[in-house]
Amino acid sequence: MHWADFTAQRLHKERGNNQILCSGITPSGEIHLGNLREILTAEMIHRACLDLELNSRYIFIVDSMDPLRRIYPFLSDEYQKYIGCPLAYIPAPDKNGQPDSSLGSYSEHFLSPFLDALQQIGVEPEIIMNHQSYENGEFAEKIDGAIKHMEEIREIIETISGRELSDNWFPYNPIGSDGSMDGVIVTGYEYPYVSWTDRHGISGRSDIRKGEGKLPWRIDWAARWGFHGITCEPAGKDHGSAGGSFDTGIPICRLLGSEPPGKMVYEWIQLKGMGPMSSSSGNTIGPIEALGLVPPEIIRYLIAGSKVNKHIDFDTGGALFTMADEYERLVANPPSGDDEKLSKRQSIARDTKLGALRMSQILHGADPADSVAGVSFRHLSMLAQIKSNDEAIWDSLRQSSHIDGKPNQTLISRLIRMRNWIEGPHFPLDARIVIQSTITEEAQNNLSNEQNSFLSEFQKRINDYEWNEDSINECIRESSASIEIGMRQAYMALYWVILGKNFGPRIAALMAEIDKDEAIAIFSN
């Protein structure tokens, strides 16, 4: 069965009817497409739980209490004074990277467009801002427990992670007089106050029932598993590797009186040929940018169709054609067959593909047929490049029987994205189409005597044929047979003449979309 269904059944067996799926993010900069893997993994398991008729919630925790750790390339030096301050309490950057309080908080600034992208892709979780959980006292009991069990937690972290904590380490980071947690040394604790001295020599105290400090990450994660009642939270392989924060979180969560979720580790999404996406390295593509190129159901299919523990190459080049067309074929011809007539391997493959198709829909429970454009990515790419007017594209698709009447909303949206893709930097060079006005010098140098003979024969015959894909194909076959040249060589000859290169989309389909007189004129120039 699909991995989301399998996980939902396991959760039901282990944790009962009530499930809380979770994912989260730190809004320290532009949130990239790679973050969608964790989010969609959790959301798809949530959908699978609902399909099992379990009581399931999906929450999305924003780590707005996390501090600004350094000045990123997109920030001005003015942010130096905010290092160590919670992201929720510092101003957003303007277009020049300058702090501007009129733009709202730093965390909201980077979170808002990401939430818009999530909505487009059919993900609508319960949003929990972590700084608010601190402010309203949800963390207080866990903070108190962490302080009381400080030495046990120290031993857990040092033993499992293999790293030594400093002598002045404390399981709670107070906010100092300047709003930063950096350089603040704890000097005492008496519930509910943690006393401290900051880097300026100023002393004070923080109330653990308010947003006046936070738990270190490894304890913060374990604590919120407990008070939110989280039963499943997929972890990236950085957190989920041996000795990582998931491994330390499990015993810490139990020490603080709660049952942790089972461990589930996912692999990263990589940009094809460029390695894992990373905001700090700049190796990213944003979800809004990606959704401007790729239909949302195709992005969901990218995640749904891959095993959680296998990395994903996100390719905005030629492989996107393959993936999109694979999705269209799957919708048009979903796998079927009775278990009695299929091998175990065939049954698993069938159920996995059907599950991926189900999880790819923007609306939970929607009919996949509603997301079909009816036109392959490759064909739409060709039309979008040779026809500047949308209505001309619809006319062409009506003539070729791809559509009947007006285009559906799926096709309209897909054309918008296709034009964005073609006009942007990610469109593959080998898929670009430029109709020639004359036979180029390069083409002349690459055409053999047999190919030139074929082109002459084709030019003589074509006026006797109707100007449509089937008739042009028939003329190609008869002309090549007359000259006794192979079809592959004939096609290559036409590609050289029409496109100035030896490959392209189906040549007869391409030529049928060009004005007949203009196409024939190329042979004479």
Domains identified in the chain, total number: 4
Residues 425 and 293 in one domain: no
Residues 2 and 132 in one domain: yes
Note whether residue 36 is domain-resident: yes
Note whether residue 447 is domain-resident: yes
Neighbouring residues of 254: CB distance < 8 A, sequence distance ≥ 6: 260
Tell me the pTM.
Answer: 0.88
Single residue among 313, 335, 363 that ends a domain in this structure = 363
Q: pLDDT by residue (tens digit) across 27-73?
A: 988 777 778 889 999 999 999 999 999 999 999 999 999 999 999 99
Tokens of 228: 């939110």
Residues 409 and 474 in one domain: no
Residues 448 and 414 in one domain: no
pLDDT band at 271 (very low <50, low <70, confident <90, very high): low
The residues that bridge with 22 in the sheet, in sequence order, are: 59
Note whether residue 220 is domain-resident: no
Residues 292 and 327 in one domain: yes
Mean pLDDT of the chain: 91
Residues 9 and 54 in one domain: yes
Note whether residue 131 is domain-resident: yes
Note whether residue 75 is domain-resident: yes
Q: pLDDT by residue (tens digit) across 382-413?
A: 999 999 889 999 999 998 888 888 998 889 99
Contact 261, 290 (CB under 8 A): no
Other C-beta atoms closer than 10 Å to the C-beta of 363 total: 9
Maximum average pLDDT range among 23-37, 169-183, 309-323: 169-183
Q: pLDDT by residue (tens digit) across 116-142?
A: 889 999 999 999 999 999 999 999 999
Note whether residue 273 is domain-resident: yes
Rounded to whole angstroms, the Cα distance separating 461 from 449 reads 19
Residue 177's domain comprises: 173-207
Note whether residue 144 is domain-resident: no
- The region, left, alpha or beta by phi > 0 then psi within -120 to 50, assigned to residue 115 is alpha
Note whether residue 107 is domain-resident: yes
Give percent of the chain with pLDDT exceeding 70: 96
Residues 401 and 517 in one domain: no
Residues 132 and 3 in one domain: yes
Residues 447 and 383 in one domain: no
Other C-beta atoms closer than 10 Å to the C-beta of 275 total: 12
CA dihedral angle for residue 272, residue 275, residue 281, residue 282, rounded to 10 degrees: 10
Inter-helix orientation angle 150-161/217-228, to 10°: 110
